[in-house]
């Protein structure tokens, strides 16, 4: 990286902010990580498999990143991940709660969803996000500043059929976001959510939800890419959003008008 690019990184909107990103090893999470790093953030990247390749890419481009394997449904694993982040960078300023179950799910009527699958989706998508916030909040409250960005879904506004457990889990994320915002307001911690539309990432491939009607429902008649989400994530992790909390921002090309 050239000296001017390094200097630009230092002066980025997220310069010197330490940001934890879960589900960062691939797909949308990987794009989030690279986008945040491009704005100067120091990244702590977690995923079920150690996202070391993503961390190496960021560091090769002049950024700072660590990576850890982390099961977000395990409180002990999440605490260890946060402790490793603090040991490396000193603190945490923001969390992007991206890890979730989606592509592994097969759409079907809710009466055909097995109870074990329901529990697994809720454990990862809802309780996993809760565990990550719970582990990081003591740091944010101590420094009286921080950002939590939960990832919801545009499906909850549509009542999208065939994925009841997924839609319900993301509806719970919005509910948690609102309560967390109320409870952390006195500590100057912003808690917001992003609700992406159906996004074509490397993880989707030939997933059966990829269809023309999704695009046609939008004001912008095109496929949504992970890069379309990065600007909103950067904004919510930056000082520019310091007086915004408890909100859910739809980023779906105008499929849902909220």
- Enzyme catalytic residues: 166
Tell me if 151 sits within 8 A of 196, measured CB to CB. yes
Distance of alpha carbon 133 from alpha carbon 135, whole angstroms: 5
Q: Count the neighbouring beta carbons within 10 Å of the beta carbon of residue 200.
A: 17
Tell me if 162 sits within 8 A of 203, measured CB to CB. no
Distance of alpha carbon 214 from alpha carbon 209, whole angstroms: 8
32, 55, 80, 240 from 244: Cα distances, Å: 20, 30, 30, 9
For the stretch 198-201, contacts whose Cβ atoms lie closer than 8 Å and that sit 24 or more positions apart, written own/partner, are 198/154, 198/224, 198/252, 199/28, 199/224, 199/225, 199/226, 199/228, 199/229, 200/224, 200/225, 201/27, 201/28, 201/31, 201/225, 201/226
* Secondary structure class of 236 (helix, strand, coil): helix
């Amino acid at each position: 990286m050239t000296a001017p690019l390094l200097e630009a990184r230092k002066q980025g909107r997220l310069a010197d902010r330490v940001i934890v990103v879960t589900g960062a090893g691939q797909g949308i999470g990987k794009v989030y990580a690279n986008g945040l790093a491009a704005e100067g953030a120091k990244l702590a990247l977690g995923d079920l498999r150690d996202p070391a390749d993503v961390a190496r890419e960021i560091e090769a481009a002049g950024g700072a990143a660590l990576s850890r394997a982390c099961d977000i449904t395990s409180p002990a694993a999440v605490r260890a991940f946060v402790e490793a982040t603090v040991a490396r960078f000193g603190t945490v300023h923001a969390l992007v709660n991206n890890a979730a179950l989606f592509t592994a799910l097969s759409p079907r009527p809710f009466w055909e969803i097995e109870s074990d699958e329901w529990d697994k989706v809720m454990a990862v998508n809802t309780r996993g996000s809760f565990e990550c916030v719970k582990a990081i909040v003591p740091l944010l409250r101590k420094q009286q500043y921080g950002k939590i960005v939960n990832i919801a879904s545009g499906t909850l506004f549509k009542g999208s059929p065939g994925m009841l457990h997924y839609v319900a889990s993301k509806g719970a994320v919005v509910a948690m976001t609102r309560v967390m915002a109320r409870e952390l307001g006195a500590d100057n911690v912003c808690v917001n959510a992003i609700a992406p539309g159906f996004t074509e990432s490397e993880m989707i491939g030939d997933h059966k939800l990829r269809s023309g009607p999704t695009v046609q429902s939008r004001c912008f008649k095109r496929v949504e890419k992970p890069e379309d989400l990065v600007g909103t994530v950067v904004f919510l992790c930056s000082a520019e959003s310091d007086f915004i909390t408890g909100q859910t921002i739809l980023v779906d090309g105008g499929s849902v008008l909220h």
